[in-house]
């Protein structure tokens, strides 16, 4: 949803089809194998909708499924990690970057590798922050619980010379205020979703696939019933979600025959 | 796992087959429809293992799937809600009982109905505590975050005359200390899993199905890879888990052909 918000802002003329695997999230504590399987199923579903570009709008999925999806999909596929890593490498002057994400994303070392490929001298400090996702989903981002949790995860990074922190989970932009309070005002916060939206624009523009007029439509598909998706999605996007459809499952029949 | 701990203690001679849907948990924020579907699939799997009794060791699943499973399964099926409700009704003298659980369990009103069926005069105070599950899974039960979260959810119940609180989620027994600190020492804490184990003993005894000698074997099946299950399960049971098998999915082929 935080990625969608940026994509909508930067690509207002595009028709956006959003797929949320609400029956099986969160992915952040699941195994690489399971995350890859779920990402493939989700991508196949979106492919049946005639997409021209696929954004993996989840760091955990990007960490594991980007390569296989780039190999298997007939359309360009971008993840959120490379764009965030690039922005981090471009902005650090101390050459010390923090990356925060789910347990599975941090374990993958995907940001570390991506940042060091761009600039081997950068030191990367990674921290898994597993409580951040439920705090965001419960709307507790301004609660004392969020402050205490941020302090627990990030307090020891203060004063270590880090000048850039990458929000390596698409839930975390909701926590930007508390992350800034914890890390200090001078930290540069990289929002991978924002960078990913720019990357999408660049790719579509290069290939001459950009819609330049008209109001883009939005369609939402979820795997659980739509109630709580309406609530959380509306809160993050700041507008009521219409056209939300609920899929019964990711069976191939559903994939191919759902309207 | 907290239910298993009690069942193992009370029924040491039984062969216990544990099924954990680790690829799709947590259930607590998912819809009733999805929870019912997942419970049915899990029960079918266990049925292929030749079980003589099925315990739905999850409050959210018990709230929605108990009736359909009792109807569809050829073996006795017990959930964790009725045993917990009975113990609560039996212990309150103020006739004021608190029930805490996931969002979906609390919304179901299953404890309210079950307690009022036994004793219509009891007033039931329900509170959804969605952050408790991730706090337990992160091993933060003795952290200040747990205390602050318990205070947020339960603080306003102190001094309301409540003398019994039901832990209506199988994760919560891990938080018993902090719940007691928050609610005061005089509160009676009902552990639904403990009551469910007694119920299982009673049913097996009545039907003359109780194993009375030999050391029961344990088998564990999970739907995700076993790594984090080993970690969390070992922590709660206080012993290393052996014989953990990972199912690739709940496809019927897997159900019928898995060894």
For the record, the structure tokens of B18 come out as 């544990």
Q: What is the pLDDT of residue B259?
A: 47
pLDDT in tens, A189-234: 999 999 999 999 999 999 999 999 999 999 999 999 888 788 888 8
- Cβ–Cβ pairs < 8 A, chains A and B: 63
pLDDT in tens, B123-179: 999 999 999 999 998 999 999 999 999 999 999 999 899 999 999 999 999 999 999
Model confidence at A171: pLDDT above 50:
yes
Model confidence at A251: pLDDT above 80:
no
Q: What is the pLDDT of residue A4?
A: 96
Choice among B55, B115, B169, B247 that is catalytic: B169
Q: How far is C-alpha A139 from the chain's CA centre?
A: 18
Q: What is the pLDDT of residue A238?
A: 84
Please state the pTM of the whole predicted model. Answer: 0.89
Selection from A168, A174, A165 nearest residue A91 by Cα: A165
Burial class of B123 by CB neighbour count within 10 A (0 to 12, 13 to 18, 19+)? middle
Q: Which of B21, B24, B106, B128 is the mutation pick for testing A, counting most A CBs within 10 A?
A: B24
Which of A31, A148, A149 has its CB closest to that of B227?
A: A31
Sheet holding B96-101, edge to edge: B123-128, B96-101, B164-167, B188-191
Residue of chain A whose alpha carbon sits nearest to that of B225: A31
Model confidence at B53: pLDDT above 70:
yes
> Prior bond to B32 cis, omega within 30?
no
pLDDT in tens, B192-250: 999 999 999 999 999 999 999 999 999 999 999 888 788 888 888 888 888 898 887 66
- List helix spans (H) across B169-226: 176-183, 192-206
- CB under 8 Å to B96, separation ≥6 — which residues? B122, B123, B125, B160, B161, B162, B163, B164
Q: What is the pLDDT of residue A243?
A: 84
Confidence bin at A259 (pLDDT 50/70/90): very low
pLDDT in tens, A99-122: 999 999 999 999 999 999 999 999
Chain A residues close to B135, C-beta within 8 Å: 131
| Three-class HEC string of chain A | CHHHHHHHHHCCCCCEEEEECCCCCCCCCCCHHHHHHHHHHHHHHHHCCCCCCEEECCHHHHHHHHHHHHHHCCCCEEECHHHHHHHHHHHCCCCEEEEEECHHHHHHCHHHHHHHHHCCCCEEEEEECCCHHHHHHCCCCCCHHHHHHHHHHHHHHCCCCCCEEEECCCCHHHHHHHHHHHHCCCCEEEEHHHHHHHHHHHHHHHCCCCCCCCCCCEEEEECCCCHHHHHHHHHHHCCCCCCEEECCCCCHHHHHHCC
For chain B, give the percent of residues with pLDDT over 90: 82
* Residues comprising chain B, all counted: 259
How many whole angstroms separate alpha carbon B259 and alpha carbon A195?
47
Contacting A residues, span 23-62, partner chain B, CB-CB under 8 Å: 23-24, 29-31, 33-34
Annotation says A58 is catalytic: yes
Q: Do B225 and A131 touch (CB under 8 A)?
A: no
Q: Do B131 and A149 touch (CB under 8 A)?
A: no
For chain B, give the percent of residues with pLDDT over 70: 95
Model confidence at A66: pLDDT above 60:
yes
Contacting A residues, span 95-154, partner chain B, CB-CB under 8 Å: 130-131, 133-135, 137-138, 140, 143-145, 148-149, 152
Which of A24, A130, A224 has its CB closest to that of B134?
A: A130
How many whole angstroms separate alpha carbon B217 and alpha carbon B17?
8
Annotation says B129 is catalytic: no
In chain A, the domains with their CATH numbers are 2-79+195-257 (3.40.50.1860), 81-192 (3.40.50.1860)
Confidence bin at A236 (pLDDT 50/70/90): confident
């Amino acid at each position: 949803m935080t990625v969608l918000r940026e994509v909508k802002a930067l690509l207002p003329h595009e028709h956006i089809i959003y797929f949320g695997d609400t029956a099986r999230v969160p992915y952040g504590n699941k195994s690489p194998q399971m995350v890859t399987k779920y990402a493939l199923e989700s991508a196949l579903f979106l492919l049946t909708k005639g997409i021209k570009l696929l954004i993996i709008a989840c760091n955990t999925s990007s960490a594991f499924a980007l390569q296989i999806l780039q190999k298997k999909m007939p359309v360009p596929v971008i993840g959120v990690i490379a764009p965030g890593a690039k922005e981090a490498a471009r902005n650090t002057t101390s050459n010390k970057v923090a990356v925060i994400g789910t347990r599975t994303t941090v374990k993958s070392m995907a940001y570390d590798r991506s940042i060091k490929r761009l600039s081997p001298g950068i030191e990367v400090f990674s921290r898994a922050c597993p409580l951040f996702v439920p705090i965001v989903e419960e709307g507790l981002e301004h609660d004392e619980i969020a402050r205490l949790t941020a302090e627990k995860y990030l307090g020891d990074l203060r004063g270590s010379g880090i000048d850039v922190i990458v929000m390596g989970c698409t839930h975390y932009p909701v926590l930007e205020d508390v992350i800034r309070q914890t890390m200090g005002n001078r930290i540069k916060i990289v929002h991978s979703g924002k960078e990913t939206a720019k990357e999408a624009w660049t790719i579509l523009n290069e290939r001459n696939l950009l819609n330049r007029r008209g109001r883009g439509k939005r369609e939402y598909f979820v795997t659980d019933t739509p109630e709580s998706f309406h609530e959380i999605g509306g809160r993050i996007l700041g507008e009521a979600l219409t056209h939300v459809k609920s899929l019964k499952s990711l069976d191939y029949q559903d994939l191919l025959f759902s309207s």
